[in-house]
Structure 1
């Protein structure tokens, strides 16, 4: 394995996990990155417990494949960094990142973006080409193959740039206020319906900051 390269540019580092958060909802990513906000529900707790099992650093060897767990990776040019859940190194030279998810798999969804980011990082660290990655869904106990093609690679680069922009501008993206919010554990922290309803928001703002009738402005 190659050592981590010395930095030549001052890119703000972007965590691989932020790619999935941003792809699902930019505001969710902003709340996590800028305000260190997070809220658990049944799904997130299940995911945390799952990752406790796969994030124990170590390796296993079985016939034809070496399995690495909790492998730190980076991509110098993109400024990506993070940890791969599982990386399989096969005897034929194939390197296969495997991202573990507790929920159901969504084809071409946020998880694909995260595992593709891992693939790009592994290519730089291990000096290989990776054309396929895997998302393992514990909900259906299946591996789902992800093609790391040119389009997906470009999505990784574009999303990384968008996440970095949120971090550097220190500005929360607007709320989605759609069906995604019903499934989001951060719904209460985000307040999407209130913030998306500008008329209601202005009314609440006016009520909150309206001067008291008893105020004596001559004092």
Structure 2
């Protein structure tokens, strides 16, 4: 399944590599991705610590075979043409040729959310590496302890390419995206670092200050 790919940057050089985790961060919040990529910023909360503990097992490289399924853990993946790199939590190799990436999340699963883009990026990398179609993947949600099937269709693949392009623009411009200051901020471990409520009102503060300190019209002064 083909997608529109930009094979070089504006200078004609090769594309800068983008990690699959950066795609998810950007899809959740471009500013969050910018803080991580440009300022090496990150902060833990209960949710991120829970996710780290959950990934300790799946991030230990290894493999096992049970019946007709070979399971690979912590598999490094890449896509040279798209300049994507990352690590798959789990990849199942079935004897009938199917390749299924499985992304583990500690929280709940939101259909069509950022995790879908990260998983689709994994599928596209696996396709490039194994030269086989990977039409779908699975997301395991720790909260519900269920696997959810994600169809890696054309629209989702385009989201991967678009997100990768946006991440490169953020890194190239060295400019942090604006703060969204919406419901996403409540669940973000980086809100204290980001200060979304303050920065979202920058224009209002500037306008108020401008009005406050505007020179008054010349007035007639009594001698």
Q: 2:186 aligns with which of 182, 188, 194?
A: 182
Residue in 1 aligned with 2:71?
Answer: 67
Q: 2:28 aligns with which of 19, 24, 45?
A: 24
Can you list the C-alpha shifts for 1:113-161, whole angstroms capped at 9, x where unaligned? 0000000000011111010100000110000000000110111111110
Residue in 1 aligned with 2:218?
Answer: none
1:203 deviates by 8.9
Q: TM-score, normalised by structure 2?
A: 0.86
1:62 deviates by 0.3
The residue matched to 2:72 in structure 1 has which SS? strand
The residue matched to 1:77 in structure 2 has which SS? coil
> Which structure would you say has the larger Rg?
2
Please tell me whether residue 34 in structure 1 is matched to residue 41 in structure 2: no
Alignment check: 8 A CA contact 1:30 1:172 kept: yes
Structure 1: any 5+ residue segments left out of the alignment? Answer: 1-6, 207-219
Q: How many residues align?
A: 200
The residue matched to 1:92 in structure 2 has which SS? coil
Residue in 2 aligned with 1:215?
Answer: none
User: Structure 2 vs 1, CA of residues 205 and 53 (structure 1 numbering), >3 Å: closer, same or farther?
Assistant: farther
1:202 deviates by 3.9
Give me the whole-angstrom Cα distance separating, in 1, the residues matched to 2:122 and 2:209: 43
Report the aligned-residue RMSD. Answer: 1.9
Q: TM-score, normalised by structure 1?
A: 0.87
1:52 deviates by 1.1
User: Structure 2 vs 1, CA of residues 199 and 11 (structure 1 numbering), >3 Å: closer, same or farther?
Assistant: closer
The residue matched to 1:105 in structure 2 has which SS? coil
User: Structure 2 vs 1, CA of residues 88 and 204 (structure 1 numbering), >3 Å: closer, same or farther?
Assistant: farther
Q: 2:97 aligns with which of 93, 100, 105?
A: 93
Residue in 1 aligned with 2:141?
Answer: 137
Matches within 5 A, 1:90-129: 90-129=94-133
Give me the whole-angstrom Cα distance separating, in 2, the residues matched to 1:77 and 1:137: 31
User: Structure 2 vs 1, CA of residues 65 and 172 (structure 1 numbering), >3 Å: closer, same or farther?
Assistant: same
Matches within 5 A, 1:130-169: 130-169=134-173
Give me the whole-angstrom Cα distance separating, in 2, the residues matched to 1:201 and 1:113: 36
Alignment check: 8 A CA contact 1:97 1:115 kept: yes
